[in-house]
Amino acid sequence: MRLALAFALLILVTACCRAEEPVMAWEYDFVRQPVGARPRIEARYVDARRAGFDIDAERYRLMVDLKSNAGQRIRRLDVGRPSPNTNLLTGNGAFVEVTDASGRVYCSLRSKNASRVNIYRRGPYYIETHWLDVELADS
């Protein structure tokens, strides 16, 4: 019994020591790349209803409708920030549309349900953002 307890304690101490190693690697990275020198990036919902989300970066901005009368779409993509702030999208923006073998068209602009977004990982230079539950509806 004592041997098993000692062995479990040894494993716990080893695991704790190993858990600190990645932290040390990040501390070294922070010394080389101060927060003020990193590019600006943020991802957030546009309102409390989560009707859309916005990825706001130093040189671009992406605005997505998760639920709106216009369906699910990328509404705006501005590049060249802070100036000239040019929107690359026209008309309905960017959306998903597919046609099945019988010729029936399904489109995210016709969706009545809300999609969602999850942020999985965030680093000093990126935010891994996944747009989920994009629904395609026929007419």
Q: Kindly report the pTM of this predicted structure.
A: 0.69
pLDDT band at 52 (very low <50, low <70, confident <90, very high): very high
Q: Which position has the higher pLDDT, 52 or 12?
A: 52
Q: Which residue has the higher pLDDT, 91 or 15?
A: 91
- Write down the domain spans for the chain: 1-32, 39-132
3-state helix/strand/coil string of the chain: CHHHHHHHHHHHHHHHHHHHHHHHHHHHHHHHCCHHHCCCEEEEECCCCCCEEEEEECCEEEEEECCCCCCCEEEEEEECCCCCCEECCCCCCECCEEECCCCCEEEHHHCCCCCEEEEEEECCCCEEEEEECCCCECC
84 pLDDT band, cuts 50/70/90, is low
